[in-house]
Every structure is written in structure tokens, then in C-alpha cells.
């Protein structure tokens, strides 16, 4: 097994921008009055969400994350209890991809200072803890369209302070950026020896390791850290558009940030319409790191030494 058969490298161009922090204004105490506050949030950074647009110019390929119309964020206000529900869910109304616009109304809140906590996707939330913690599900099976599965891509916005005023019941927040907390793995598969696979396309990819790739995680807003609650050691990508086995056309999966230790195993199971291909690496020659908020490239070569091909 050589490093040509499998490698992982961080692509600096895909490192997402850090979340914006709360303004350093002074806290405004509440008078005790309650109000309905219209909330408008705009994110104008294309490096935040939720699908990847691939562009090739001058022989170089770049990958640009984009927002999609209908992306829905969840929002908590100030603090929350265990088993709480978001105070608001907001849907992106912009269709141009390079920015996002969210609009909603916070009902019956106190005037004065508040801190907003936002996350995406709203549907990924499965639980809360009173210590500023949220629990999310990383899908073991991910359905790919033109890039990664947006339902699997968990992003977090840091606390952002607003002031609710009864004489001006509207808050406008511009240029909110989110941090992608999971690791994006860009998988390229090349056929180095199996003539029987010529012309075939991959429609399904499963990675299995010794580590927690998917499952349930908990995000701590205070420490900005992830802890694993329940783990699955595999992730499956079901490709809406099958990809050629050419080493150039990627498929994307989202996993828990993890490092596969040197000497551990990794199994990739690939399916075409005709064959099941199993690539087994029983002992990794070096540790492979898949950090959060980055895209890492995983290159898999189908060879005679560690790959088998079966008919379906």
C-alpha cells in the first residue's frame, strides 16, 4: 500500500471563515415590557453554506460553497433548557446562491439586550442541554445532489447580540457567517487495474473505519467543542448522479472530525450498476486527519493488491 493509493490533505481554499462574534456594545437592561421583534438576517459570504459549486478556469478547479433557496436555520434566544425547541426557524428566501436572507418574528420577548444563537440545518437538531449545548444527528446515509448532502452539513453561528426596542421593533443583522463544524471529505476514485470496470459509474460509496464517522454529537457553545454521544463507524453516500471512476470527479460526505490512527483499518465499498468493489486497507501507513471546518481529499485507487470486484 503506497500513499498513491490513499491520501488525505487539507485544501486551504476550502477553509471556511470564522463566525462573527457579538458586537461589543453594553448590555441594555429590560424595562419589563414585552414585544414582537421583526428579525432580518443576511449572510453575504459565499464561503458559508450549503452546497459546493465547482468551477474550472485556466486549468485550475476551485470549489465555492453556496447557499440554496429554502435552507432553513434554527434560532435560540439567550439560553435554553433541556429538551427545548428553537424559538424561531427561518428559511432562506434568496435564490442567487452567493448570499442568504432570512426573515421572521420573535414573539412576546422582553425589550433590552438579547443574544441570538443560530444553527443549520434546523432539522438536524435532536436535543438540547441547559448548559448551552445542542445535540445533532450526522446522517449515516447521505443523499448527494450536486455536492454534499445539505441535510448532513451542520454549521453554527456564534452568539450575536441584538437590542430589542419597543419604539423600533426591528433588528437587522448583516453579514453573519457560520462555522462548519463537521469535516467534509472529497472522495476521488481511480481504476488502476480492473478492466471489467471500464466505462462504469459509481452510484454508492460506503466508508467504514475504526472511528466514529457519524452518529449523534453534542456542540458546546461555550467551549466551541464537539463530543460524541453515540457513534457509527460508517458513512454512505448515495449519488443522485453517478460518477465515473476517473480519479477526477469527486463525491462529498460529511463526517465527525476525526483522525484515523496509523495502523488502523479503512474499508471503502463502492457500487456501480453491475459491480460491488471492496477496497480494504488493513493497516494505514500513516494517520489520516479529517479536521472540522475544512475539506480533505481522500484518493482511492482500485488495484489488484487490495481491491475485489463482485457482480451484483
CATH code (residue 214): 2.60.40
Same domain, 190 and 97: no
Based on the fold, state whether residues 63 and 191 are members of the same structural domain.
no
* CB half-sphere exposure, 24, CA atoms < 13 A: 0
What is the residue range of 224's domain?
Answer: 182-311
Q: Quick one: 63 and 111 in the same domain?
A: yes
What confidence score (pLDDT) does residue 9 get? Answer: 39
CB-based contacts of 12: which residues, under 8 Å, 6+ apart?
Answer: none
Residue 51 lies in a domain: yes
pLDDT, average across residues 7-36: 58
Q: How confident is the model at residue 273 (pLDDT cuts 50, 70, 90)?
A: very high
Residues 186 and 307 in one domain: yes
For residues 279 and 73, what is the distance between their CA atoms, to the nearest angstrom? Answer: 38
Instruction: Give the Cα separation of 202 and 277 in Å (integer).
Output: 10
Judgement on whether residues 209 and 292 belong to the same structural domain of the protein: yes
- Looking at the fold, whether 210 and 87 belong to one and the same domain comes out as no
Stretch 158-173: mean pLDDT:
88
Number of helical H runs and strand E runs in the chain: 0, 26
Burial class (CB in 10 A: 0-12, 13-18, 19+), 59: exposed
Q: Please list, in sequence order, all residues whose beta carbon lies within 8 angstroms of the beta carbon of residue 148, skipping any fewer than 6 positions away.
A: 51, 52, 142, 184, 252, 253, 254
pLDDT of the residue at 100: 78
Q: Per the domain annotation, does 137 fall within a domain?
A: no
On the question of pLDDT at 207 being above 50, the answer is yes
180: which strand partners?
Answer: 155
Shared domain check, 285 and 272: yes
Q: Cα(173)–Cα(23) distance, rounded to whole angstroms?
A: 11
pLDDT recorded at residue 256: 94
Q: How does residue 158 score in pLDDT terms, banded at 50, 70 and 90?
A: confident
Banded pLDDT at 196 (limits 50, 70, 90): confident
pLDDT at 214 over 80: yes
> Are residue 81 and residue 169 in the same domain, yes or no?
yes
Note whether residue 7 is domain-resident: no
Side by side, the strands of the sheet bearing 8-10 are 8-10, 295-302, 183-191, 251-255
Do residues 164 and 256 both lie within one domain? no
The answer on 223 and 295 residing in a single domain is yes
210 pLDDT band, cuts 50/70/90, is very high
Position 11 scores a pLDDT of 37
pLDDT bucket at 4, cuts 50 / 70 / 90: very low
- pLDDT band (50, 70, 90) for residue 25: low
Burial of 305 from C-beta contacts in 10 A (0-12 / 13-18 / 19+) = exposed
Inside any domain, residue 5: no
Asked if residue 143 belongs to a domain, the reply is no
Enter the DSSP assignment of 14: G
Written as nine digits, the cell of 77 is 434566544
| Mean of pLDDT values over 298-302 | 92
Q: 65 pLDDT band (50/70/90 cuts)?
A: low
Residue 8 maps to a domain = no
Number of separate domains in the chain: 2
Same domain for 59 and 163, yes or no, is yes
* 136 in a structural domain: no
Does a structural domain hold residue 141?
no
What is the Cα–Cα distance from 69 to 85, expressed in whole angstroms?
23
Amino acid at each position: 500500500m503506497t500513499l498513491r493509493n490513499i491520501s488525505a490533505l487539507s485544501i486551504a481554499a476550502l477553509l471556511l471563515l470564522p463566525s462573527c462574534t457579538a458586537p461589543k456594545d453594553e448590555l441594555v437592561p429590560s424595562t419589563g415590557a414585552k414585544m414582537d421583534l421583526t428579525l432580518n438576517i443576511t449572510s453575504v459570504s459565499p464561503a458559508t453554506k450549503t452546497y459546493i459549486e465547482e468551477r474550472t478556469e485556466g486549468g485550475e478547479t476551485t470549489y465555492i460553497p453556496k447557499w440554496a433557496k429554502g435552507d432553513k436555520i434554527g434560532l435560540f434566544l439567550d439560553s435554553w433548557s433541556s429538551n427545548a425547541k428553537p424559538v424561531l426557524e427561518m428559511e432562506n428566501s434568496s435564490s442567487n446562491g452567493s448570499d442568504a436572507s432570512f426573515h421572521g418574528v420573535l414573539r412576546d420577548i422582553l425589550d433590552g439586550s438579547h443574544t441570538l444563537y443560530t444553527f443549520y440545518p434546523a432539522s438536524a437538531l435532536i436535543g438540547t442541554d441547559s448548559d448551552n449545548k445542542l445535540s445533532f444527528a450526522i446522517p449515516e446515509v447521505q443523499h448527494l445532489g450536486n455536492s454534499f448532502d445539505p441535510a448532513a452539513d451542520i454549521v453554527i453561528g456564534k452568539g450575536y447580540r441584538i437590542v430589542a426596542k419597543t419604539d423600533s421593533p426591528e433588528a437587522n443583522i448583516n453579514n453573519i457567517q457560520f462555522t462548519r463544524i463537521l469535516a467534509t471529505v472529497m472522495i476521488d476514485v481511480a481504476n488502476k487495474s480492473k478492466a471489467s470496470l471500464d466505462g462504469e459509474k459509481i452510484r454508492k460509496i460506503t466508508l467504514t473505519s475504526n472511528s466514529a464517522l457519524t452518529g449523534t454529537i453534542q456542540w458546546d457553545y461555550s467551549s466551541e467543542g464537539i463530543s460524541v454521544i453515540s457513534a457509527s463507524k460508517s458513512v454512505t453516500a448515495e449519488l443522485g448522479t453517478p460518477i465515473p471512476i476517473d480519479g477526477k470527479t469527486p463525491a462529498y460526505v460529511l463526517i465527525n472530525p476525526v483522525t484515523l490512527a496509523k495502523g488502523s483499518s479503512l474499508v471503502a465499498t463502492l457500487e456501480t450498476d453491475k459491480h460491488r468493489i471492496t477496497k480494504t486497507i488493513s493497516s494505514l501507513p500513516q494517520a489520516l486527519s479529517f479536521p472540522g471546518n475544512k475539506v480533505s481529499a481522500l484518493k482511492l485507487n482500485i488495484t489488484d493488491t487490495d481491491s475485489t470486484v463482485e457482480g451484483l
